[in-house]
Every structure is written in structure tokens, then in C-alpha cells.
Amino acid sequence: MVSNRPWLIALAALSCACDSQADGGYLGEPLASFPGYVASAGVGRLEAAMLWQRGTPPSTDDQELATRAPVETGFPARFTLHLYQPPPAAARKTLAPGQVPYARANAGAVPYGVPVATGDAAPASGSASPYGIDSNHWIVYFPSDVPPGSLMEWWLGQALPAGFHLLRVSAMTCMSTAQLEACAADLARRGVADDGSEHPGTARSFCRAPYRLSLAPPDEELVLDLALGPGSGGACPP
């Protein structure tokens, strides 16, 4: 008769090893990490938060907390936000049918210890609450590679691989008629409908967006300026 005792001892040892690693709140290796700093001085004790945006770009008024991290004392006050989970389903969008899905997030600042629940929004500029948001950067996520020649490639400024990326967000200056026509023609070649209108989802609606995206350099950091609230470039006249 073969004894099961050696197997039982091995399983018990494995169980103990797993339990010891699970203790202490270990979250595993982060999927992505983003360093940054608070540009404002004398702001008191803060935490940095990563906020997944559930609304239409570039809005920041419907968001979900992804993670938060303490902000070190000193100037500049530094932090590092670690993402341990993929974006929630509510933050995953597509620019148009057939395009690669994406999710976008902003870094924000919240007073230390203040709860930030699902759906909480960072107060707008001018609010008395010491919140701030980095409106000059988005953290974006794609579950698959962005193909060349797609609407997503145009939107991002280049075809990016699957995963998390830090993007710069720049205010778009108003386009001349010639620039608008060229932009609409480019998007039409990418399969986006151009009926001459600026209805949502048409080529000219994308061209008229008040922002443009580009990949941030590898060493670029998030910047929280509490003197600035969320915002974007103003709309161009029709």
C-alpha cells in the first residue's frame, strides 16, 4: 500500500507558502506605473488618484477611482500611481464601430483620507476644495494593437501597441477651411463617413475636436497643478 503522507506534507507546505504571501495586502506586480509630482507649493497633505473617465472625450465629469497613492512631503511633492487591474467595463469605449476599444484616465489630487467613491468627480476650476487634475495627460489602455491606417491611429497620432500608454493632450487651435477639408479627406480614406456635416461620429466632428493627442516621451511625468482645474481647448466657431 502506497502512503499519501509525502503528498499531504507537500500540499500543506505549499498552502502555508501561499498564505504567507497573501498576508500583508500584497497586490502583486503592477500592470503599469506612472510617476508624477504636485507643482503647487504649500498644499497640505494630499493623495494622488487615478480616475478612469466614463464620459465622452475630453470630459472629466463622470469618473471611477482606479487607485490612489500617498504624495510625499517636500517640493516638488512626488508620487507614483500603480495600476493593478485593467480598466472597468464602464470606462471602455470605441471611437466608431470596428475600431480598437480604449479606456482613458486622468491623474487627480484629493485631500488625504477623503473617500473617493465610484462616480465622484474632481471639482471644477475655482472650487474651494483642494482638488487638482492633470488635464495635459491621459493614461490610455488598449486590449489589442492599434492598426495602421485606422481612425484610432489618427486619433492617437500613431499606431500604438496593446497596453497602457501616457499621452499628451494639447488644445487644438481652430482650423482653416482648407485644413478642415484635408483632415476630413484623410479620415474618409480611413473609412470614416464624411457627409459634409459635423454630426457626432462623422469625419468633420473628429477634425473639430478641441484637442489633439500624442505619445509622451518615456521620461515624462504626470503633473498635478492645484491652481488648474479640468478643462480643454474651447470650441472653434462653425
- φ, ψ of residue 9 to 5 degrees: the values are -65, -40
pTM for this model (two decimals): 0.80
The rounded distance, in Å, linking the Cα atoms of 27 and 48 is 18
Torsion on CA atoms 88, 82, 95, 199, rounded to nearest 10: 100
Q: In which band, very low, low, confident or very high, does the pLDDT at 107 lie, cut at 50, 70 and 90?
A: very high
Q: For residue 102, what is the DSSP state?
A: B
The pLDDT tens digits for 22-39 are: 334 677 899 999 999 998
pLDDT at position 9 is: 32
Q: For residue 57, what is the DSSP state?
A: T
**Is residue 137 predicted with pLDDT exceeding 90?**
yes
Query: Is 12 buried (19+), middle (13-18) or exposed (0-12) by CB count in 10 A?
Result: exposed
The rounded distance, in Å, linking the Cα atoms of 18 and 60 is 40
CB 102 within 8 A of CB 128: no
Helix-, strand-, coil-residue percentages of the chain, each rounded to 5: 20, 30, 55
Q: Per DSSP, which regions of the chain are E strands?
A: 32-38, 46-53, 63-70, 77-83, 103-111, 132-133, 137-142, 163-171, 211-215, 222-224
Q: For residue 97, what is the DSSP state?
A: T
**Is residue 4 predicted with pLDDT exceeding 80?**
no
**Is residue 124 predicted with pLDDT exceeding 50?**
no
pLDDT above 90 coverage of the chain, percent? 59
pLDDT at position 117 is: 53
Q: In which band, very low, low, confident or very high, does the pLDDT at 8 lie, cut at 50, 70 and 90?
A: very low
Number of neighbours of residue 210 by Cβ within 10 angstroms = 16
**3-state secondary structure at position 151:** helix
| Residue in the structure block whose three cell numbers are 482653416 | 176
Q: For residue 4, what is the DSSP state?
A: -
Contacts of 117 (CB under 8 A, 6+ apart): 65
CB 104 within 8 A of CB 54: no
Of the listed ranges 12-21, 171-180, 181-190, 216-225, the one predicted with least confidence: 12-21
Q: With CA atoms as reference, report the closest residue to 231 among 156, 79, 122.
A: 122
pLDDT at position 177 is: 95
